[in-house]
Amino acid sequence: MTGDQRSDPRSILTGLQAAGVSSVVIGGLARVARGSDEVTRGVDICPSLLPANLARLQAALTDMDAARRDGHELIVDAHLRAEPVIELSTAFGELKLVATPAGVPRGYEALRAGASTEHLGGGLRPEIASTGDLIAMSAALRRDEDLKRMPALRRILELEADPAGLVAPSPPPGLRPGAAAGGELSHLERSRRAGPGNGPGVGR
């Protein structure tokens, strides 16, 4: 099965967690988790480049039937050290591996310092990039779609800095059991039904 046939971010994150992979979720899924109102496709992660972690990542990707979208053989250790972004198809949808995200050149170590563990139900607890780092990545990419997200991300950052004015967003409904409030579709569920997209790079 290829990633073009389904989009199941929860299963991707569950597979990574079960394998003990150390990584930080970035891109659209991280923005949704922080409260951004957008439709996201796939999962983007920045993994630790320690050899033992890359071995766990390789095993997790094998379990998910991951394959490079360019058709080349997937050798996680060598490729992540040489390429800024690796685009994969998996049995559960699109997955991007990003060693050095734009705006955060120190990668995992820098992102991990500001990330938070989000409890998304069923024991799933991914590390999500901070809103400040998401802003830095969007600003560095400087694509039109990224620049348009900046005001909303800055507003989220303001609310996080002012607890009195903050209404904490619920975990993305698509990553936990149950439907969204009022019977509405969650951002992740709308993304799943919309199918995979063709947007390039991190921050889709």
Segment 174-199 shows an average pLDDT of 45
146-152: long-range contacts (C-beta < 8 A, 24 or more apart)? 146/203, 149/31, 149/36, 149/38, 149/203, 152/36, 152/37
Categorize the per-residue pLDDT at 175 as very low, low, confident or very high, splitting at 50, 70 and 90. low
Map out the domains of the chain as residue ranges.
3-162
Please tell me the CATH code under which domain 3-162 is placed.
Answer: 3.30.460
For 73-77, 85-89, 128-132, which range has the lowest pLDDT when averaged over its residues? 73-77
This prediction's pTM: 0.77
194 vs 16, more confident: 16
CA distance 174 to 21: 22
Residue percentage of the chain with pLDDT more than 70 = 77
What pLDDT score was predicted for residue 123? 93
40 vs 77, more confident: 77
- The helix or strand, by DSSP H or E, that contains position 68, with its residue range, turns out to be strand 67-68
